[in-house]
Structure 1
Amino acid sequence: MFERFTKSARATVTGAVTHAERADAESVTEEHLLLALLDQHSGRASFAIASLGLADRRAAVEADLVTARRRGGLTRADTDALADIGIDVAEIVARVEEIHGEGALDRGRRRGPGRRPFTRGSKDVLTKTLRIAVGRGDRFIGDEHLLLALTACPGVVADVLAVHGATYETVNRALYGDGDGDGDGDGDGTVPSGV
């Protein structure tokens, strides 16, 4: 599949590995893919990121990712569901960090050098990029497909992007306009079925 990636998409994937290494992370996550996309200054994804204002709010996006890591990677939906049954995640995080130090629930840290594998979630994003590209009839997988996949795969990164106005629909519109650019032929801007 990697041979179908454009130069900018390959740069994003290798940039994600670099982010994981710098963070001394155990593996390459969806978050690392997003950070690598935010690093790009050319390409279709970069255009969409700029037009949606994400480039100007990078610090806020990164802060939201840090907050999610501190919650042990729980999504907003997870946190809300727990709140509905009387569990205050913020209070639990505060207590754990009081005893074990800040970032104690931040999963995925490691010590030492070595190859970092991609997490199941990041592999799912890469697989989704292929499905999105094929659904649009594109021969190659570009960085724009990576950005769309990050918004389409449920999880913390999609939550953070949505908070900052980058949903599948808004990214799709930024990339392809209001016409039939959603890849499923009906022009409604929704995530194509099977994607």
Structure 2
Amino acid sequence: MFERFTRSARGVVTGAVSHAERTDAASVTEEHLLLALLDRPEGRAAFAATSLGLADRRTAVEADLAAARRRGGLTRADTDALAGLGIDVTEIVARVEEAHGEGALDRARRRGTGRRPFTRGAKDVLTKSLRIAVGRQDRFIGDEHLFLALTACPGVVADVLAAHGATYGTVNRALYGDGGEEGDAGRFRKAG
């Protein structure tokens, strides 16, 4: 599949690996893909991110991603669902950090050196980007398809992006204008 990626999309993937290496992460995640995408100064995804104001809010996006890592990777919806069951995630994180230090849940997922595999979620983003490109009848997978896939795959990254106004629909409109297929969002969220 990697041979179908444009130079820009390949840059996002290799940039994600670099992000994982710099942070000593055990694997390459969706978060690393997003950060690498936001690092790109040009390309269709950079245009969409800039037009949606993500470039100006990068620090806030990173802070939201860090907060999710601190919660052990739980989305806000997960945290709210657990709260509905009487489980206070903030209290649990505070107790774990009291016993093991700040960021203990995030550190538990780190490994150090060596080859870093892609997580299931990161692989899902790559696969979904292929489906989006095929659905749009594009011959190659570009960074814009990766951006759309990051918004379409449920999880922390899509949650953080949505909180900053970057949903599948808004990214699709930024990339393709009103001519984009508005119905793609539901179809690609449901696609496994």
Calculate the TM-score normalised by the size of structure 2: 0.95
Counterpart in 2 of 1:65? 65
- How far residue 74 of structure 1 moved from its aligned partner, in angstroms, is 0.5
Q: Secondary structure at the match of 2:151?
A: helix
Are the equivalent residues in 1 in contact too, given 2:148–2:172 (CA < 8 A)? yes
Partner Cα separation in structure 2 for residue 56 and residue 88 of structure 1: 32
Q: After TM superposition, give the deviation of residue 91 of structure 1 in Å.
A: 1.1
Offset of residue 189 of structure 1: 5.6
Letter in 1 for 2:36: A
Instruction: State percent identity of aligned pairs.
Output: 79
CA contact under 8 A between 1:27 and 1:119: conserved in structure 2? yes
Contact 1:173 1:189 in 2 (8 A): no
Paired AA for residue 151 in structure 2: T
- Listed one character per residue, the Cα deviations across residues 5-62 of structure 1 (whole Å, up to 9, x for unaligned) are 0000000000000000000000000000000000001000000000000000000000
SS in 2 for 1:34: helix
Are 1:43 and 2:43 an aligned pair?
yes
1:108 corresponds to 2:103: no
Equivalent residues of 2:152, 2:185 under 8 A apart? no
How much has 1:191 moved relative to structure 2? Answer: 3.5
Amino acid at match of 1:23: T
Partner of 1:191: 186
Do 1:30 and 1:122's aligned partners in 2 also have CA atoms closer than 8 Å?
A: yes
Higher helix share: 2
Q: 1:164-195, CA deviations, whole angstroms, 9 ceiling, x for partnerless residues?
A: 0000011001000012x22xxxx446333564
Task: Determine the C-alpha separation between the residues in 2 that align with 1:81 and 1:149.
Answer: 25
Q: Which runs of 5+ in 2 are unaligned?
A: none
Give 2:126's aligned amino acid: L
**Alpha-carbon distance between aligned partners in 2 of 1:189 and 1:119, rounded to the nearest angstrom:** 25
**Structure 2 Cα separation of the partners of residues 156 and 136 of structure 1:** 26
Whole-angstrom CA distance in 1 between matches of 2:127 and 2:74: 22
CA distance in 1, matches of 2:75, 2:169: 20
2-structure distance, mates of 1:96, 1:36: 30
Unmatched runs of 5 consecutive residues or more in structure 1: none
Match of residue 55 from structure 1: 55
Q: Distance in 1 between matches of 2:33 and 2:64?
A: 15
* Distance (whole Å) between structure 2 residues aligned to residue 188 and residue 149 of structure 1: 14
Which runs of structure 2 are paired with 1:1-195 in the superposition (5 Å)? 1-106=1-106, 107-111=108-112, 113-179=113-179, 181-182=180-181, 187-188=182-183, 190-193=185-188, 195=191
Q: Match for 1:109: what amino acid?
A: R
In the TM superposition, what is the alpha-carbon distance from 1:143 to its structure 2 partner?
Answer: 0.1
* TM-align CA RMSD: 1.2
Give the drift of 1:86.
1.0
The answer to whether the 8 Å contact 1:169/1:191 transfers is no
- DSSP 3-state at the match of 1:173: helix
TM-score by length of 1: 0.94
